[in-house]
């Protein structure tokens, strides 16, 4: 993989915490589970052994992925951004023209995205469509349910 991975300081810290958890807790537990399953005898029909090996593959793969992302991280502090346009890290308030409701999102990195708490990925259709717009501009966004039209009512960086 190449290129930087944009993320907020909070997102960077979460990835580091997950990596520590995997290395210090999950990896040793998986090794112990494999050793215990081996002690039960025949490995060819040992479901516990197969499950532990599968878990080991997942843990090792995730450790490799996290190490790569952390190494390529471009940590951005939204509070240091001085822009009138929507860029990475912005907290954006939108008025949905169709539903006449206001929604707010923060544009974050892929690993930080969680729509339930109003964080959308910069690579999502909504995130991509919002980048570069100013307050009072209309934004048309293609989403699976059709085209949505929003008016940008606020942009914050904090």
All domains in the chain, ordered by first residue: 5-76 (1.10.287.180), 78-156 (3.10.50.30)
- The mean pLDDT of the chain is 92
43 pLDDT exceeds 80?
Answer: no
In the numeric block, the tokens 């593959």 are attached to 57
DSSP 8-class letter at 22:
I
pLDDT in tens, 100-144: 999 999 999 999 999 999 999 999 999 999 999 999 999 999 888
pTM (two decimals): 0.81
DSSP character at residue 125 = H
- Asked whether 50 and 33 are in contact (CB, 8 A), the reply is no
pLDDT digits over 62-103, tens only? 999 999 999 999 999 998 998 899 999 999 999 999 899 999
Q: Would you say 94 and 81 are in contact if contact means Cβ atoms under 8 Å apart? A: no
């Amino acid at each position: 993989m190449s290129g930087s991975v944009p993320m907020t300081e909070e997102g960077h810290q979460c990835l580091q915490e997950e990596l520590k958890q995997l290395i210090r807790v999950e990896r040793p537990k998986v090794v112990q589970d494999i050793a215990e399953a081996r002690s039960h005898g025949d490995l060819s029909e040992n479901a516990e052994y197969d499950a532990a090996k599968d878990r080991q593959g997942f843990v090792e793969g995730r450790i490799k992925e996290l190490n790569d992302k952390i190494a390529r991280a471009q940590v951005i502090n939204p509070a240091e951004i001085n822009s009138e346009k929507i860029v990475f890290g912005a907290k954006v308030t939108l008025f949905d023209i169709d539903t006449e409701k206001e929604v707010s999102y923060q544009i974050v990195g892929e690993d930080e995205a969680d729509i339930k708490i109003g964080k959308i990925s910069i690579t999502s259709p909504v995130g991509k469509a919002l980048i570069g717009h100013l307050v009072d501009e209309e934004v048309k966004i293609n989403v699976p349910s059709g085209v949505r039209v929003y008016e940008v009512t606020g942009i914050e960086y904090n």
